[in-house]
Amino acid sequence: MKNPKRTLEIFLLIFSFLAISACSNLEDEKLKAFNSQVAGIKITAFDSIFSTTFKEQTLKIFPQFLNGIDEVVTLEEIPKRVIYINDKVSKDLVIDTSEEAEYSVYMKVGSVKSNTLRIKVMDVNTRTYISRIEISQGDSTFSPYAISGISRIDLKPRIYNYKEQEFEADFYPPYSVWYDGMEYSDPIDILVNRTGNIPYYVVSGDKKSEVQYIISREKPDFSMIYSLPIIFHIVEGPKSRDVQSEEIQGILDDTNGHFRNDKSLIRKSHNTVDSGIQFTLALTDTLGNMLVEPGIHRIKTDEEIFPFNTDLTNEFIFEHLWDPEKYVNVFLMELSGVGGFASYPREYPADQIPPLSFNYMAAVGMSSYRNSKTLTHELGHLFGLRHIFNNDEYEPCKDGDGLPDTESYLKQGNILAKSPAIYCNDIPFYSTNYMDYIGAKNSFTLDQVLRMREVISKNIYLPAIDSKGKVEAGPFVKGKLDLTIKSIE
């Protein structure tokens, strides 16, 4: 007779073997699926710096699984993850924090290994220890430029604790800010009253930040006022709304305020300046006749919509364009794809000026024209300004517009956000520039003004600078429209 106990033991042994084999096969399948999707692992730690206050601490590690182009992959099932601390397998992620030490931490899933984290244990006073100290102009700007006698700056110290985190307000260490040899306890709204490189830094205890500099310049002579006649071509399609002449005057008043640096309820750049550029409604048409509605030319059309940078749109504009040597042309029309667009100025040798072959104008959509800042942005393009941001993800600090005193940042990931833009050092700043897509949009910088005034004074395709609105009639010979020359939004 068979021994029941022996039989049961054999059965359990076989069952255990089969269960282990099944689990192993399942794990192999998970690992196979994992390897087909994942090329790398990136881990981060909730805390990477600890004090000796407690004898031990448990690490909190968070993994991300990445494909071959460093995109995060979401997995339905994850194979066994193994954490190594100082090259030894750790089951509980507990580290000894009773004395100063450093640990290396990484994760492995199969043969795929993560980055290595450095965990540090420090024997310091956690309430008072300063790991580093720095100073900047806060979130207002990362441009060091200022204008003597005009600019007022705010200086923002940042003091970091043992965890490399800024101290909370209740525990912030005392500090003093030094600007141009003078000590400030509240470095807000400081007048820049001289030219040159002006030093500033912050001191807290025995720690001192790196010395930073304000580059202060004299304001150039902008006594010459550039007053340009402007004509609004209102394109009236089947579904267009009626635009009244009073609205046009209001838009023009706002636009002039932008260019003449009117006051704003919202903080402006400290490096902004009156451009000395303004616009007057044209009083006469191309034949010298007085306009019934000053500054307005109404165009009837059967077209319902004008897509951005299409042949249809560009040919329509070119057909109705008035002589840009005598008028600043602005088209109000039903656009799709953009809120507005414009053309950059073009340069030619003085003895080789060709007939006009591109749309030197600004266009604003019917849905955007009431926001006069859209027109200001497009006129900035017309006068040679580019967007302040850049589109090169491989060079996030690359200058977007070639002007030193504007803040550039990587457009990707910022442009649709209503929160502050992120400078290339990963610190947010408060954008104020008209040539941005986000932020307050209430400032032109000195370098931008210098560029616009240079373009206006030298550009053959801009009208007289002292116009009172009357334009002398004269021939306007257009060339052939070059459809390869595209506008900028």
| Tokens representing residue 103 in the block | 């640990």
Q: What is the pLDDT of residue 240?
A: 87
* Chain segment 69-127, per-residue pLDDT in tens: 888 888 888 888 899 999 999 989 999 999 999 999 999 988 899 999 999 999 999 89
Q: What is the rounded distance in angstroms from the CA atom of residue 175 to the CA atom of residue 131?
A: 14
Pair 369, 338: CB distance under 8 Å: no
Q: CA geometry: angle at 210 spanning 207 and 211, to 5°?
A: 120
Is 341 found in the same domain as 254? yes
* Chain segment 187-229, per-residue pLDDT in tens: 999 999 999 999 999 999 999 999 999 999 999 999 999 999 9
Q: What is the rounded distance in angstroms from the CA atom of residue 9 to the CA atom of residue 292?
A: 107
**Average pLDDT in the 176-184 region?**
96
Residue 431 in any domain: the answer is: yes
- In the predicted model, what is the mean pLDDT of the chain? 87
Is 257 found in the same domain as 297? yes
Q: Is a pLDDT exceeding 60 seen at residue 415?
A: no
**Average pLDDT in the 394-421 region?**
69
Residue 88 in any domain: the answer is: yes
| Tokens representing residue 329 in the block | 């042309």
Q: What is the pLDDT of residue 132?
A: 93
Residue 335 in any domain: the answer is: yes
H-assigned helices in 285-428 = 311-320, 372-382
| Tokens representing residue 371 in the block | 């926001």
- Which stretches of 289-412 are assigned E, i.e. beta strand? 296-300, 306-307, 328-333, 335-336, 340-342, 362-365
Q: Could you give the number of structural domains in the chain? A: 3
Which residue in 362, 359, 376, 368 sits closest to 252, CA to CA? 376
Biggest CA–CA distance in the chain, Å, is 125
Q: What is the pLDDT of residue 427?
A: 65
**Average pLDDT in the 238-246 region?**
90
* Chain segment 310-323, per-residue pLDDT in tens: 999 999 999 999 99
Residue 6 in any domain: the answer is: no
Residue 481 in any domain: the answer is: no
Is 154 found in the same domain as 247? no
Helices 245-259 and 372-382 cross at an angle (nearest 10°) of 60
Is 355 found in the same domain as 313? yes
Is 442 found in the same domain as 369? yes
Is 241 found in the same domain as 199? no
DSSP state of 56: E
**Average pLDDT in the 464-470 region?**
68
Which residue type, as a one-letter code, is found at position 73?
V
**Average pLDDT in the 114-141 region?**
89
Residue 169 belongs to a domain with what CATH number? Answer: 2.60.40
Instruction: State CA 94 to chain mean position distance.
Output: 42
Residue 263: C-alpha distances to residues 28, 137, 254, 353, 438 (Å): 68, 21, 11, 40, 19
Instruction: State CA 217 to chain mean position distance.
Output: 25
Q: Among residues 190, 217, 244, which one ends one of the domains?
A: 217
For residue 139, name the pLDDT band (cuts at 50, 70, 90).
Answer: low
Residue 262 belongs to a domain with what CATH number? Answer: 3.40.390.10
Residue 163 in any domain: the answer is: yes
Residue 105: C-alpha distances to residues 47, 61, 359 (Å): 12, 9, 61
* % of the chain at pLDDT higher than 90: 61
* Chain segment 276-309, per-residue pLDDT in tens: 999 999 999 999 999 999 999 999 999 999 999 9
The answer for residues whose C-beta is within 8 angstroms of residue 186's C-beta and 6 or more apart is: none
Q: What is the rounded distance in angstroms from the CA atom of residue 426 to the CA atom of residue 419?
A: 13
Q: What is the rounded distance in angstroms from the CA atom of residue 29 to the CA atom of residue 440?
A: 54
Is 138 found in the same domain as 115? no
- Looking at mean pLDDT, say which of 66-80, 164-178, 422-436, 472-486 comes out highest: 164-178
Residue 484 in any domain: the answer is: no
Q: What is the pLDDT of residue 10?
A: 59
Q: What is the rounded distance in angstroms from the CA atom of residue 207 to the CA atom of residue 232?
A: 60
Structural domain boundaries enclosing 181: 132-217
Q: Among residues 197, 217, 237, which one ends one of the domains?
A: 217
Is 380 found in the same domain as 253? yes
Q: What is the pLDDT of residue 22?
A: 47
Is 398 found in the same domain as 257? yes
Which residue in 378, 346, 386, 380 sits closest to 479, CA to CA? 346
For 112, counting Cβ atoms within 10 Å of its Cβ (0-12 exposed, 13-18 middle, 19+ buried), the class is middle
Which residue in 51, 50, 47 sits closest to 60, CA to CA? 47
Is 244 found in the same domain as 176? no
Residue 9 in any domain: the answer is: no
Pair 157, 133: CB distance under 8 Å: yes
